[in-house]
C-alpha cells in the first residue's frame, strides 16, 4: 500500500510557494517579484465571486449542450498561452512532437503544464503558469456547467492546490527515473512507458493529498486525468498500487535480479520512489509566455 509523504517533502512543497501558485491560478495575484515584468497580470479575478464567495459562472463560462468553455479573454489578464481548453493538454494534437522530453524544452508554447530538465546539479522542474491557468479554469467551467456544481472560493482553492500538485508529482517522477538512470546500468528510458507511469504516480499521490473525497473533487480529478494521448492514456493500466509498483519495478530494471533471490520487489520499488520524493534535490521555476 503506497503511503503518504513525510513532512520533509511537505516542507519542500511549501518552499515551492504552493500558496503563491494558488493565488496566481485562482485570483491572478502574483508575488512582488513578478509584478514589474508582468504588471498587466494585476488585473485580478475578484469580480468572478459574489458576496457569499460563490463563483458567478455566467461571467466566465459559456455553457451549452455541446460544449462548455470559458468566456475569458486571457490576454486581458496577461496570459499569452495559445490554448483554450484542458483538452488541449490531454488529447493528441497535430503540433505535438513525440520526442525525448528528458532534455530542456525550449519551445514554451508546447501544450504542457510542466517540464523536467535532467540533472545538471540539480534537476529542474518548470511549471508553465499560463497553460495551467487555462487548464484549470476550463475544467472549473465544465464542472459548473455540465455537472452544475456551485463552487465557492474554498472549493476552488482546494481544486487549484490539487491541480498544481498533479503537475509537480508528475515531474518529480521524471526526476526519480533520472536518478535511477545513474544508479541502474540496465535502465533504458522509454517515453511512452515513462509518461504512463508518471501520470499514474501523480494520480496516486494527488489522491493522498485530497482533503476530502467529495463528488466535486472526484469529478475534477476525472477530467484532469482524462488523457487520450499515446503513452499518457495507458496510466489506467496502473490504477492500483500493486499494478503501479509492479510496472515501476520492471521499468527501473529491479524485477529480475530481486525476484530470483526471492525478494518481494514492490516494497523495494516503493522505498526507492519515496527516497527520492522525500529528498528531491530539484529546483523549481515558474515560466510565462512573452
Given a cut of 50, whether residue 198 has pLDDT beyond it is yes
Hey, what's the cell of 14?
511549501
pLDDT band per the 50, 70, 90 thresholds, residue 111: confident
According to DSSP, the residues that pair with 283 across neighbouring strands are 124
pLDDT for the residue 208? 87
SS3 state of residue 127: strand
Please tell me which of 5-14, 61-70, 78-87, 237-246 the model is most confident about, judged by mean pLDDT.
Answer: 237-246
Q: Rounded to whole angstroms, how far apart are CA atoms 226 and 247?
A: 21
Q: How far is CA 119 from CA 164, 174, 179, 180, 222, in A?
A: 22, 10, 8, 11, 32
Strands (E) located in 72-219 = 114-117, 123-128
Instruction: Please give the mean pLDDT across all residues of the chain.
Output: 83
pLDDT for the residue 259? 61
**76 or 174: whose pLDDT is higher?**
174
User: What average pLDDT does range 254-261 have in this prediction?
Assistant: 66
Q: Rounded to whole angstroms, how far apart are CA atoms 115 and 3?
A: 25
**70 or 168: whose pLDDT is higher?**
168
Given a cut of 80, whether residue 66 has pLDDT beyond it is no
Given a cut of 60, whether residue 38 has pLDDT beyond it is no
pLDDT > 70: percent of the chain: 80
Given a cut of 90, whether residue 284 has pLDDT beyond it is no
Model confidence, pTM: 0.88
Q: Cα angle vertex 236, ends 106, 147, to 5°?
A: 90
User: What average pLDDT does range 154-176 have in this prediction?
Assistant: 95
Domain range annotation of the chain: 7-84+116-287
Q: Tell how far CA 249 is from the center of its chain.
A: 23
pLDDT for the residue 95? 47
The answer to whether 163 and 136 are in contact (CB under 8 A) is yes
Q: Rounded to whole angstroms, how far apart are CA atoms 209 and 196?
A: 20
**53 or 268: whose pLDDT is higher?**
53
Stretch (H or E) spanning 204: helix 191-209
Stretch (H or E) spanning 222: helix 215-224
Amino acid at each position: 500500500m503506497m503511503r503518504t509523504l513525510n513532512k520533509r517533502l511537505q516542507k519542500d512543497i511549501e518552499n515551492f510557494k504552493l500558496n503563491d501558485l494558488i493565488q496566481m491560478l485562482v485570483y491572478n495575484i502574483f508575488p512582488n517579484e513578478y509584478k514589474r515584468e508582468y504588471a498587466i497580470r494585476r488585473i485580478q479575478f475578484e469580480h468572478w465571486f459574489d458576496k457569499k464567495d460563490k463563483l458567478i459562472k455566467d461571467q466566465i463560462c459559456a455553457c451549452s449542450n455541446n460544449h462548455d468553455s470559458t468566456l475569458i479573454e486571457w490576454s486581458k489578464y496577461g496570459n499569452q498561452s495559445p490554448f483554450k481548453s484542458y483538452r488541449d493538454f490531454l488529447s493528441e494534437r497535430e503540433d505535438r512532437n513525440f520526442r525525448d522530453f528528458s532534455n530542456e524544452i525550449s519551445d514554451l508554447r508546447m501544450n504542457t503544464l510542466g517540464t523536467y530538465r535532467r540533472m545538471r546539479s540539480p534537476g529542474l522542474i518548470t511549471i508553465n503558469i499560463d497553460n495551467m491557468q487555462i487548464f484549470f479554469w476550463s475544467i472549473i467551467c465544465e464542472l459548473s456547467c455540465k455537472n452544475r456544481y456551485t463552487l465557492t472560493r474554498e472549493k476552488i482553492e482546494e481544486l487549484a492546490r490539487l491541480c498544481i500538485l498533479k503537475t509537480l508529482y508528475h515531474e518529480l517522477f521524471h526526476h526519480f527515473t533520472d536518478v535511477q538512470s545513474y544508479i541502474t546500468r540496465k535502465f533504458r528510458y522509454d517515453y511512452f512507458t515513462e509518461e504512463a507511469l508518471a501520470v499514474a504516480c501523480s494520480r496516486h499521490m494527488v489522491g493522498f493529498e485530497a482533503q476530502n473525497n467529495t463528488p466535486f473533487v472526484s469529478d475534477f480529478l476525472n477530467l484532469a486525468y482524462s488523457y487520450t494521448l499515446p503513452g499518457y492514456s495507458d496510466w489506467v493500466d496502473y490504477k492500483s498500487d500493486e499494478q503501479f509498483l509492479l510496472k515501476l519495478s520492471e521499468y527501473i530494471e529491479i524485477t529480475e535480479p530481486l525476484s530470483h533471490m526471492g525478494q518481494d520487489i514492490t516494497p523495494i520499488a516503493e522505498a526507492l520512489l519515496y527516497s527520492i520524493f522525500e529528498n528531491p534535490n530539484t529546483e523549481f521555476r515558474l515560466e510565462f509566455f512573452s
